[in-house]
Amino acid sequence: MIPSAWRRGRAALAIAAAITVVASGCGYRPASSAHDALGPFDVAAAPVTVPDAAAVMAAVGGARAELARSGVLGGCHAAPSGRCAEVRVAVTRVEESPVGIVAGASDDAAPLARGVRVTVTGSAAVTVDGKPQRATGEVSASEVVSVGGGPAAATLARDDAARAAAARLGVRLARLLLGHPEPTRD
């Protein structure tokens, strides 16, 4: 006679095997899976329309890094189907706004900004063989930086802030294209 515990274990194994077969046949994949039906992806910049080329390249680099982290960066040469899926990253605006405004030293002096908020706005789209498949819409990322230390230091800090915000924008764009929830504004 076979013990009942052994029969229950065998029945549980049979049920688990049946669920695995049914779930894999319907296309089910875990949410954190690296597979994307359109991938692997190549990443490129859309035509540049802003005067800050470093911000554009930082956004492309951020998108490339996030796709690599997700396991779907590969380019056209790695696609098993021979089709080319490309992520086009476009930076549409780089804006500056003052933060931490204080009154001037005298009554007739202009107000002074103690910092600058640099906001980089852009979008991304996936195309397969030149045909659009997915798009993000406009997304932005911001960075706040102090402008003390003179004009040269302020310019360097602003450029660094623009690159940091653009890299974060690229990560957001890639995550949105992969279907992950991500805020579209800071």
Residue extents of the structural domains in the chain: 1-30, 36-177
Band (pLDDT 50/70/90 cuts) for residue 98 is confident
pLDDT at 158: 92
Report how far residue 143's alpha carbon sits from residue 172's, in angstroms, rounded to the nearest whole number. 14
Q: What percent of the chain has pLDDT over 70?
A: 72
Instruction: Write down the pTM of the prediction.
Output: 0.74
Report how far residue 50's alpha carbon sits from residue 76's, in angstroms, rounded to the nearest whole number. 28
Which residue has 């103690």 as its token pair?
114
Instruction: Provide CB contacts within 8 A for 108, sequence distance 6+.
Output: none
The CA–CA distances, whole Å, from 94 to 53, 82, 119, 149 equal: 11, 36, 6, 23
The letter for the amino acid at 145 is: V
Beta bridge partners of 146: 115
pLDDT beyond 90 at 54:
yes
Q: Which of 106-110, 159-163, 176-180 has the lowest mean pLDDT?
A: 106-110
pLDDT at 16: 65
pLDDT at 112: 72
- Cα 7 to chain centroid distance, Å, stands at 50
Closest among 77, 66, 43 to 178, alpha carbons compared: 66
- Better-scored residue on pLDDT, 6 or 129: 129
Report how far residue 73's alpha carbon sits from residue 139's, in angstroms, rounded to the nearest whole number. 21
Q: Which fold has domain 36-177?
A: Double Stranded RNA Binding Domain (3.30.160)
